[in-house]
Amino acid sequence: MASTPDLAALRANITALNEHIHTLKSTKEAAWPAGGAAKGDSKKDNKLALKTPKGTRDWSPLEMSIREHIFSTLQRVFKAHGGVTIDTPVFELRDILTGKYVPMNISTTAGLDNDSQVPFARFLAMNGTTYPTIKRYHIAKVYRRDAPAMTKGRMREFYQCDFDIAGLYDPMVPDAEVLCILSEALTALDIKDFTIKINHRKILDGIFGLCGVPVDKTRSISSAVDKLDKLPWADVKKEMVEEKGLPEEVADKIGEYPTRFKRKRQSRHGDMELLFKYLNVFGITHQSKALLPAASNTSALPSTSASTPTTAKPAPKSKPKKSKPKNEDDEEDIDESQVGVGSIAAGGRYDDLVGMFASAAAGKASASGSGSGSGARAGRFRREKERGRSKATEVFVVSVGEGLIEERMRLAKELWDVGIKAEYMYKITPRLDAQFKVMDKELIPYAVMLGPDEVKEGKVKVKIQASGSFFYSAGGEDAGSQVTISREELIPWLKQRLDN
């Protein structure tokens, strides 16, 4: 006879098996509703529904050709600004993801990426010594954790195209270039009428503090304020009070600020004033507008003019349905040509994100994002490229004697506009040796040097760097030499050599 402990264990096992059987039956009934065969129409009721999971879709060959054109265009713009790419896993450890989000529950230890910033920040924290500064672009699938809204263009699985600049730089210099890249990318995609709306999170935090918003409600109220471009104030206030639990008198105080900000929009101070100064150098102030800060830091929306964004296209009406959905995965048929889309790009600073994964010192960094041939050929290729080029930059704009940050920006913009890949150091007054150290490390073939005298005379000095790279050898017999030419001659001179 079995002992009492053995009987208890046996009963526990039987109970667990019964629960498992009950779960399997429930799953089966959900997939194949009972009674279908009794109705004499089992073939119809049990027919497999062919569709993609909710929040996802297939892409046809024609749509893929359009997507590939978009990706290649963006890559060309990103590389022109010295961007490099890395690859990170499509999922991260839950402890890492929960530092910024509550991730999708796909396992007990990991979650799919909600965006590419968290994996990038984790990469920087792990490789900060090797990559103290980096300009990185990333084009890959990411996953939305909340419920998808297909009628608003919000899918659960979608591609995200990022460009990020990370490192310790002087204020607003990398921020201005990120906005310049955004402008160039949209223009290259033949999106002509858009407005880049620029917000300042510190101003928003200050407004919330003055109005009495509790610290624990800052993020949820920020998400409501972010809808001011799409919804009237009455609707936003209703969400704050009824859904977010904010006292009505506090919401009323917040509502006074959009009107105040409109009256003082032209009065920019501190970082915003410096940012718009640099945007003026890049020639994109007509596409940029400072707004009442919202939850996102920057966003680009389609507009009817350079200063007034249009209202986002409303979501389309669904096709009439004959019956109620059988389960939550059933969704309405949508004419995707009519899907409403508001913001087409967004970004901002995430200075503290790296610090979540690294030491205090590492946390100070700021962040504003095939081959062919035989094995033998590949081995020879690896041996001969001992110092390979990680980026495609062709020209580095160097300042001599004085910082000349605006002149360097202006010259770099001229080079970008004609397709020459150029960079400059994000310091107001960089040391000459530090600039050439960057060039030597990245094997950039041409240094275009600017000093006070060259600026006055409308000339530049071009130094042709000696390069041992298997990828790129600049100048041939001219390597190491230096020439002085006029600004008008610079671009044709460079194009001739780069094209050859």
Distance CA 220, CA 240 (A): 8
Task: Please determine, for residue 5, whether its predicted confidence score (pLDDT) is greater than 70.
Answer: no
Encode pLDDT of 424-464 as tens digits.
999 999 999 999 999 988 889 999 999 999 999 999 999 99
Neighbouring residues of 138: CB distance < 8 A, sequence distance ≥ 6: 85, 86, 116, 120, 160, 161, 162, 164, 369
pLDDT band at 82; cut points 50, 70, 90: very high
Distance CA 474, CA 482 (A): 13
pLDDT band at 294; cut points 50, 70, 90: very low
Q: 335 near 318, Cβ under 8 Å?
A: no
Question: SS3 of 448, please?
Answer: strand
Task: Please determine, for residue 300, whether its predicted confidence score (pLDDT) is greater than 60.
Answer: no
Percentage of the chain lying above the pLDDT 70 cut: 66
Task: Please determine, for residue 322, whether its predicted confidence score (pLDDT) is greater than 50.
Answer: no
- From first CA to last CA, the distance across the chain in angstroms is 92
How deeply is 166 buried, as exposed, middle or buried, from its count of CB atoms within 10 A (0-12, 13-18, 19+)? buried
Q: Which domains does the chain have, with CATH numbers?
A: 59-190+345-369 (3.30.930.10), 192-315+338-343 (3.30.930.10), 376-499 (3.40.50.800)
Neighbouring residues of 222: CB distance < 8 A, sequence distance ≥ 6: 204, 208, 294, 295
Binding-site residue set: 144, 160, 164
The least confident of 7-16, 108-117, 374-383, 406-415 is 374-383
Q: 81 near 181, Cβ under 8 Å?
A: yes
Backbone φ and ψ of 388, nearest 5°: -85, 155
Neighbouring residues of 19: CB distance < 8 A, sequence distance ≥ 6: none
Q: Which two tokens stand for residue 480?
A: 């190491």
Binding-site residue set for L-histidine: 144, 160, 164
pLDDT band at 265; cut points 50, 70, 90: very low
The pTM for the full model equals 0.69
pLDDT band at 56; cut points 50, 70, 90: confident
Encode pLDDT of 127-136 as tens digits.
888 888 899 9
Q: 440 near 467, Cβ under 8 Å?
A: no
